[in-house]
Structure 1
Amino acid sequence: MFKSILNFGAYSIVILIAACSDQNDFPEVKDYEKNGRWYNHQQVTWGRSVYDKYCINCHNSKAVGTFKWKQPLEDGSYPPPPLNGTAHTWHHSLPVLLRTINDGGIHMGGKMPPFKDVLTDEEKLAVISYFQSFWSDEVYGRWSKRNSK
């Protein structure tokens, strides 16, 4: 019995550490509100779960994309770019980001399949809020200014 209690305690500590480490993946709610972002903590949290289910296999953890994403693969297609604000994603308006998720990236030289009939509009917005949560305030500010015109 002592061994099972010890195992349960060790398991609980592992779960607690994993849960705590996930909290640092994106800014706190107050940071979103303070910096005038269009989304909230709940959208980011939901977006993370959608991202983990549909996007992480290609765009990788924390939306870092793939190494050498600007260089075509052997078949001529391009690998998944970073979505975390270090690539060109921040140049695109919300409607363009939604259209890319809906239509996929094949017409742009990538391999991303269309998600129009896979994700709801709310899930798509949640995914965008998740990867935008990695954008620095400077990058988000440039995106916001560029798209307020």
Structure 2
Amino acid sequence: MTRRILLLGLGLLTIAAGTAVVLAQADETGGPTTTDFPVDIVAGAELYGQYCASCHGANLEGQENWRSPGADGRLPAPPHDETGHTWHHADSLLFTYTKLGGQATLAAQGMDFDSGMPGFGEQLSDAEIWNTLSYIKSTWPERMRETQAERTAADLAAQGE
């Protein structure tokens, strides 16, 4: 556990430089919960622009009234900047939500939720998902990155990893 916390801390220190390395763990879908390879924040920014910005905003600002369901009953896309809640979640949830989509991820946790978030597992490799998430995380203030890293460490500890 100390090694994971140390590696997670080192990962946070290197995010600003564009590369982070942390331990690999598998979640219930068989996908990794963290990376075991260098991430490329520049590539992540490009992927974000290509796959995420149309809903979550070019500046990670999300859609208007993102906390209130639209006419279809779905919540609009939330911001991924510091004004949203993305940083409240552990890496495992962020990865799975991106790979499988919101509805499938929450269904695996026993929740019936009509999420508008599609899964990108067919379009993006695991490494590309991590690059995109690393880009998003790189835009947060340090305090939020630290809080999110603590939640990821607690999630790994709860999984017995």
Equivalent positions of 1:1-149 (< 5 A) are 36-37=13-14, 40-41=17-18, 43-106=40-103, 108-149=113-154
Please say if residues 69 and 80 of structure 1, whose CA atoms lie closer than 8 Å, have aligned partners that are also in contact. yes
- Stretches of structure 2 that go unaligned for 5 or more consecutive residues are 1-9, 20-39, 105-112, 155-161
Letter in 1 for 2:45: R
Tell me the distance in 2 between the aligned counterparts of 1:135 and 1:85.
Answer: 6
Please say if residues 64 and 84 of structure 1, whose CA atoms lie closer than 8 Å, have aligned partners that are also in contact. yes
Please say if residues 39 and 129 of structure 1, whose CA atoms lie closer than 8 Å, have aligned partners that are also in contact. no
Give the stretch that moved more between structures: 139-148 or 34-43: 34-43
Please say if residues 44 and 126 of structure 1, whose CA atoms lie closer than 8 Å, have aligned partners that are also in contact. yes
Deviations 1:65-87 (A, max 9, x none): 11210000001011000111322
Please say if residues 15 and 138 of structure 2, whose CA atoms lie closer than 8 Å, have aligned partners that are also in contact. no
Please say if residues 103 and 115 of structure 2, whose CA atoms lie closer than 8 Å, have aligned partners that are also in contact. yes
Letter in 1 for 2:99: N
Please say if residues 80 and 110 of structure 1, whose CA atoms lie closer than 8 Å, have aligned partners that are also in contact. no
- Stretches of structure 1 that go unaligned for 5 or more consecutive residues are 1-32
Match of 1:62, SS state, is coil
- Displacement after TM superposition at 1:146 (Å): 2.3
Tell me the distance in 1 between the aligned counterparts of 2:49 and 2:56.
Answer: 10
Match of 1:140, SS state, is helix
The number of residue pairs the alignment matches comes to: 117
Tell me the distance in 2 between the aligned counterparts of 1:118 and 1:35.
Answer: 27
Deviations 1:56-108 (A, max 9, x none): 10001121111210000001011000111322111211111110011112454
**CA distance change for structure 1 residues 117 and 40 in 2, over 3 Å: closer, same or farther?**
farther
Letter in 1 for 2:13: G
Flag the structure with higher helix content.
1
Letter in 2 for 1:123: E
